[in-house]
Amino acid sequence: MHNHSDLPVDERGLLIVRADLRVTTDTEVVPEVWAAGDDASVPDLAAGRPGAHTVPDAQHAVRQGRLLAKNILAALRGRPTEDYVHRSLGVVATLGLGRGIFQHRGLVIKGFPAWLMRRGYHVLAIPSRERKTRVFAVWVTALLYGRDIVSLASVQHPREAFVSRGGLRRGEEPAQPGGRRKA
């Protein structure tokens, strides 16, 4: 952000915002400028310590985006805005296919149930019913037939896959106009 505007940014280049997601300087709010998500330095009111900021990640961005829309509407209607307060739903991670871990306060769930919880959470976070159905179908297909493994070797040498399947030998060039191949 700091390269593209004169809005106030912190040392990381994130827009400085208040807890209600209005962009602010040290002394005043910048009129009609709001920010949220991974480009905003949002105070973390749930941390319980001064100077704490939320992590600029997708989980916060989605929640901040919802609040941002409500706050802009409230400001336009002359109503008070709300502060962003993050309430953790816990931590979940995948530890390989069919294995995971979930932790919320004192509750810890491991293995396949935690892996399913993570998958379920992600399906719920997907925006439309059509996309949810598509993602779920891919996951079911992978469970039934195995994962679709793609070789990453083609990333390193993308031309190799075409040359090896086109009947050319290593170092040989494709046919030139007129039908001759260059060696």
- The pLDDT assigned to 23 comes to 95
Q: Would residue 144 count as lying in a domain?
A: no
Count: domains in the chain:
1
- The pLDDT assigned to 35 comes to 94
Q: Would residue 75 count as lying in a domain?
A: yes
Q: State the CATH number of the domain containing residue 82.
A: 3.50.50.60
pLDDT higher than threshold 80 for residue 147: no
Full domain range(s) for residue 45:
1-87
> What tens digit of pLDDT does each residue of 48-83 get?
888 899 888 888 898 999 999 999 999 999 999 999
- The pLDDT assigned to 1 comes to 55
pLDDT higher than threshold 70 for residue 150: no
Q: Would residue 115 count as lying in a domain?
A: no
> What tens digit of pLDDT does each residue of 159-179 get?
776 666 666 566 666 666 655
Q: Would residue 1 count as lying in a domain?
A: yes
> What tens digit of pLDDT does each residue of 74-127 get?
999 999 999 999 887 788 888 887 899 999 888 999 999 999 888 888 888 888
- The pLDDT assigned to 182 comes to 54
SS3 annotation, the chain: CCCCCCCCECCCCCEEECCCCEEECCCCEEEEEECCHHHEECECCCCCCCCCECCCCHHHHHHHHHHHHHHHHHHHCCCCCCCCCCCCCCEEEECCCCCEEEEECCEEEECHHHHHHHHHHHHHHCCCHHHHHHHHHHHHHHHHHCCCCCCCHHHHCHHHHHHHHCCCCCCCCCECCCCCECC
Kindly report the pTM of this predicted structure: 0.60
Q: Would residue 21 count as lying in a domain?
A: yes
Q: Would residue 78 count as lying in a domain?
A: yes
> What tens digit of pLDDT does each residue of 3-45 get?
678 899 998 889 999 999 999 998 899 999 999 998 999 999 9
Q: Would residue 164 count as lying in a domain?
A: no
Q: Would residue 112 count as lying in a domain?
A: no
